[in-house]
Structure 1
Amino acid sequence: MTLDSINPYRPSVAISEKNLDVVPEIQFRLTHRILRYSESKYLIRSHSSRLMLGSMLIITLSTVIFFVAMYFGALSFFTALIGTMAAASAIYLALVHHAKIEIRQNLEAYGMEDGAACSITMNNGAVIINTPTGTYQWPADKLRTYRTQKGQLLLPREPLFLIIPKVNESTRGEYKELIKTIKSKAR
């Protein structure tokens, strides 16, 4: 046994120069959980000003109701507290309801639904995704990228998001390489 055969830091296969320029293709299966998580991150990133103004309105409404309820007594306070929570929930849902419907329709049109087997790669400066309904591409410099706990979120200009889950059918190195390539080209 030679020292070269037991060296754990030596690659088992020689890396050619040709393989260094190839961007890996990441294959993954979309789940309901990853789609809803990504949808919430999309809404926060793309509608942040609307949500901030809505939150300010909810805080103001809660404060006014709190002071009015304190003026009228304890029973009114608990009624006002529950009423304020219901009003806050309704206001928040009203702010994002239309955007949720639109994004879900677009995801369905692009074939990105629960259980869909997808693959994503990059070629000639464009991010290319293969879904059950077809192949779609966006110029990488027109995408905004955000790292999340569950993967990389890519936002094109249209009301749609692309998610590259960390848990996929590729190696961690291929995942990181693709993300690094997309980030270097994205704005």
Structure 2
Amino acid sequence: MTDNFAISATPQAHAADVEFLVRRGMTKGYQLMSLLTPPLYATFALSRYGRAQFSVNRLLRATWIGGGAGMAGGGAFEYARTVYSNPEKVRARRIKAVYDTSSIRADDHSTIGGILFAVLTPAVLWKRANTINMVLGGAGIGSAVGLLAHHARTVTGDPAPIVRVPDIPPPLSEQTSKEEH
């Protein structure tokens, strides 16, 4: 295992860890904003413009734009957080993320919901919205529904299995300093 950590000190390994964590940050940002945008937009639009100006097309457009903004923000935040961090600590965060079965299950449910709703939304709302807004907005709403399904399963007594994270040795810099004392 120490050999793997010696390899993880290379710039290529750090770049791979940063890439993994940025993709994960983008996924989590998309899921969160896809969950928050529809109710926030509906509340804002109804209180500001009234029911006459509220439409399904605008709600779906706001959903996919909000999800895209969440994806960009999540990726940018994670990039800023990891690119200049200690490579050993970034590697440890990646290993913990890889073994986080609850997060993996949430991503799976979100993906399934996104694909399902990207197909079902145009089938149900065919004449009520623009095609692009139906597909992309439906995917955003489906992502939120999948995320809610994951949390509902967890609350009702079907949590994701817990996988023990392998022991991660301390960073090489800490091992060297302990040996010197």
Q: TM-score, normalised by structure 2?
A: 0.29
Flag the structure with larger Rg.
1
Which has a greater percent of helix? Answer: 2
